[in-house]
Homo-oligomer: A and B are copies of this chain.
Amino acid sequence: MIPPDTHLQIGSLLFEGLDQIDLTGPFEVLSRVPNSTYRVYAPSLDPVRDVRGLRILPDATLAEAPRLDVLHVPGGQGQEALMRDAAVLGWIRDQAAGAGHVLSVCTGALLLGAAGLLVGRRATTYWNAVHLLPFFGAEPVDERVVIDRDADGRTWVFAAGVTAGIDGALRLAAALRGDEAAQAIQLGMQYAPEPPFDSGTPRTAPPAIVARARAAAADLTARREATARAIAAERGIRPPEPASVTR
């Protein structure tokens, strides 16, 4: 917990082709953290289109962002296009270096990996990308929210896929301002979920549905894997043996 009178600068990265709820789920929580300024930052001031077409406006450019105390990196299909983007990765690296807390949601973790920030981290990401984490030097952990702390005292919150960002952001809010602050936010958003089916993970969803989802994403998964392998090779990270790459 941070002293309540310390004002916090909280910022989310917004980018073309993100999965909007990777951003908007945590937005609902992070924009209500007491004594904080929360803003959304993008490479330019243009509207950004999510993978299904929702158009969101950033509050400011990456260059205009102050030093953030809390950095939030969402994911989604558009993440792959940023894996070699020096400007965005440099911004993530610089902001993470100064931040006390970093939250990634879904394949936002791969952006942290591309920025070189996952070496030695316990982490998670979207269920269909978790096998890629070792290419970035991370240890994949099969939990919905993984919290890791580094030698500098920085707290890393990794949320698994998409809606896991809500759970991750509530855990982060509790880390920042205490359990009661997080509970008040949870009440405000009436977050007492009742999914109508138990189909939210590849373990619980009907196998045919999982197979179709993997098939539909096969091209993207192959591209992500090629990128991860190339980055691992450049950095001398020994890629995991095929047997350990489980999906």
Contacts and interface: CB of A to CB of B under 8 A. Distances in A.
Given A31-B54, A56-B57, A193 B166 contact: yes
A4 interface: no
Contacts of A174: 196-197
Please indicate which of the listed interface residues A106, A164, A184, A196 has the most CB atoms of chain B within 10 Å of its own CB.
Answer: A196
Contacts of A145: 194, 196
A166 B163 contact: yes
A54 B25 contact: no
Nearest to A190: B161
Contact of A24 (B54, B167, B170, B212): B54
Contact of A196 (B162, B170, B192): B170
A106 B174 CA distance: 25
Interface in A21-44: 21, 24-25, 27-28, 31-32, 38, 40
Contact of A193 (B59, B179, B187, B195): B195
A59 B53 CA distance: 9
Contacts of A126: 190
B213 A193 contact: no
B28 A21 contact: yes
A152 interface: no
A124 B24 CA distance: 24
B28 A40 contact: no
Contacts of A40: 54
A200 B166 CA distance: 13
A160 interface: yes
Contact of A27 (B54, B127, B186, B190): B54
Contact of A56 (B56, B182, B199, B213): B56
Given A21-B28, A56-B56, 9 more contacts: A24-B25, A55-B59, A127-B190, A161-B189, A163-B190, A183-B199, A186-B197, A187-B205, A192-B201
3 closest pairs, A vs B, by CB? A161-B190, A192-B200, A183-B199
